[in-house]
Amino acid sequence: MKKLIFILLIMFVTSFDVMAGDMPEVKVGEVDPNGEVVTVKAFGLVCDFCANAIEKVFMRKDEVSGIDVSLDKHQILIALKEGQQLDDTEITELVTDSGYNVKEIIRSSSGVGE
């Protein structure tokens, strides 16, 4: 019985960790657990000024709850508020207007609250 409880406890803790691991993290703002998360692979992100520019431009949008720019991954992670949308055209426009280029846009839910 003790062994069973121990195994169940391990399973519970592990499943909790997996759920937490699925939750993306952002440097600015927060991830809405019921919102969409958009990953943008971009060209030209080579320094902190580039990342800072992307943050500022996207965080002005009412639809955005959080953002994370990774120079290592050449990517922008955009967390949207629940029920909000930014279509590919608008995202591409925002990135281009900031001085950079979009390579690819990948869409997924935050994986939380579903």
Partner 1 sequence: MIFRIFLLLVISATIQVDARPVSYPGGWTFSTFNDGDRYSVFTHYSPTAFYSIGYHAEYWRAQDYQIHAFHVNNLIKRWNAEASQGNFYVKSGVGFVYSDEGDFDNRTELAVYTGIAADWETRKVFVAYENRITDAGNIADNFRQKVKFGFAPYVAEYGNWHTWLMMEIMHAPESDDKLVATPLVRLFKGANLYEAGISDQGDALINFVHRF
Is-contact 97 57, C-beta < 8 A? yes
Coil, strand or helix: which one is 92?
A: helix
Q: Which residues contact 79 (CB under 8 A, 6 or more apart)?
A: 24, 26, 29, 30, 31, 32, 35, 37, 64, 65, 66, 67, 68, 110
In this chain, which stretch among 16-24, 31-39, 53-61, 83-91 interacts with partner 1, using CB under 8 A? Answer: 53-61
Q: Is residue 97 part of the contact set for partner 1 (CB under 8 A)?
A: yes
Please, what is the minimum distance in Å from the beta carbon of residue 102 to partner 1? Answer: 10
Q: Is residue 2 part of the contact set for partner 1 (CB under 8 A)?
A: no
Please, what is the minimum distance in Å from the beta carbon of residue 13 to partner 1? Answer: 29
Site string for partner 1, 3-42 (x = CB under 8 A): ------------------------x---------------
Q: Is residue 52 part of the contact set for partner 1 (CB under 8 A)?
A: yes
Q: Is residue 72 part of the contact set for partner 1 (CB under 8 A)?
A: yes
Of 114, 9, 14, 23, which Cα lies nearest the Cα of 66? 23
